[in-house]
Amino acid sequence: MEEKKVFFFEDYFLAPEYVFQPRPETELLVEIAIEHIKKYLYEISKPKKEKFILADVGTGTGCIIISIYKKIEKLLNILEIPYKMIGIDIDMKTLKIAVHNSKILNSRVDFVLGNLLEPIKQADFIVSNPPYVSLKVKDKISIPDPPHTIFGGEKGYETILKLIAQAYSVLKENGFLLIEVGYDDLKFFDLEELKNEYKKEIFSFAKNLGLKLFPPVKDYNKLERILIFQK
């Protein structure tokens, strides 16, 4: 097993070159998810006495779901809420790294191979840092990570729309979908029009399905980074 490690949130994660390297901006997704999950556990899961199901789509090294697990596991036990946490990735080699990280960090997260949410039937929370970069900027950037981890289609938002559609049928009533996005970065490539289209397409698609939209959360550079939807 290669030994390249990356510090993310509160831990070191094994991250060889062939997997997506965890980025500091994704720590915001973890923070926001923990905040919403804690509230949800008290208000929804506990009174309903239901199993809490969390899914991480495109889990990569597993850094998002393992970090969330480590912060909420104690609370789940105190509130006596049974739980299941699942990281999904389309790449088997990547999944093996996530399983390794989970073992090293003593987490009880399961990892499954699959295309977006296809492996699961139900979830309370879905978190994802999906491939979201437009192929239109392919020649203008130099990113070392494998292309399938970065590019979300010609416009960039194609994978996100598929994810939102699947999330709508998988989410329980009141369940949440949190997605990391990067459309604000398009303005640095003089692609302001695509940026506006990107945001409009995602928001109108989710709204037409009947999902409730929250204001996007900005990162430390004041770029809209996390989208929050509730069923």
Ligand X SMILES: C[S@@+](CC[C@H](N)C(=O)[O-])C[C@H]1O[C@@H](n2cnc3c(N)ncnc32)[C@H](O)[C@@H]1O
Based on C-alpha coordinates, what's the Rg of the chain? 17
Q: Report how far residue 69's alpha carbon sits from residue 108's, in angstroms, rounded to the nearest whole number.
A: 8
Q: What's the min distance (Å) between Cβ of 183 and ligand X?
A: 14
From the list 36-44, 74-82, 84-92, 205-213, the region that binds ligand X by CB under 6 A is: 84-92
From the list 56-64, 71-79, 164-172, 185-193, the region that binds ligand X by CB under 6 A is: 56-64
Site for ligand X in 159-218 (CB under 6 A): none
Instruction: Name residue 52's amino acid.
Output: F
Q: What's the min distance (Å) between Cβ of 93 and ligand X?
A: 9
- With vertex at residue 217, the alpha carbon angle to CA 44 and CA 192, rounded to the nearest 5 degrees, is 140
List 45, 59, 101, 107, residue binding ligand X (CB under 6 A):
59
Cα–Cα distances (Å) from 218 to 38, 42, 70, in that order, read: 21, 26, 24
Q: Report how far residue 44's alpha carbon sits from residue 216's, in angstroms, rounded to the nearest whole number.
A: 23
Question: Smaller CB distance to ligand X: residue 90 or 161?
Answer: 90
Question: Smaller CB distance to ligand X: residue 15 or 211?
Answer: 15
Work out whether 115 is an interface residue with ligand X (CB under 6 A).
Answer: yes
Q: What's the min distance (Å) between Cβ of 129 and ligand X?
A: 4
Question: Smaller CB distance to ligand X: residue 79 or 141?
Answer: 141
Element of type H or E holding 229: strand 224-230
Q: 92 and 59 in contact (C-beta within 8 Å)?
A: no
Site for ligand X in 132-161 (CB under 6 A): 148-149
Site for ligand X in 7-26 (CB under 6 A): 20, 22, 26
Backbone angles phi, psi at 211, to 5 degrees: -80, 145
Beta pairing class for 11-14 and 52-57:
unpaired
List 88, 105, 164, 226, residue binding ligand X (CB under 6 A):
88
Element of type H or E holding 176: strand 171-180
Work out whether 107 is an interface residue with ligand X (CB under 6 A).
Answer: no
Q: Report how far residue 77's alpha carbon sits from residue 70's, in angstroms, rounded to the nearest whole number.
A: 12
From the list 43-51, 86-94, 100-108, 202-210, the region that binds ligand X by CB under 6 A is: 86-94
From the list 41-49, 54-62, 102-110, 165-173, the region that binds ligand X by CB under 6 A is: 54-62
Return the C-alpha torsion angle 156, 177, 23, 57, nearest 10. -80
What does the binding site for ligand X look like in residue numbers (CB under 6 A)? 20, 22, 26, 57-61, 63-64, 88-91, 94, 115-116, 129-131, 148-149
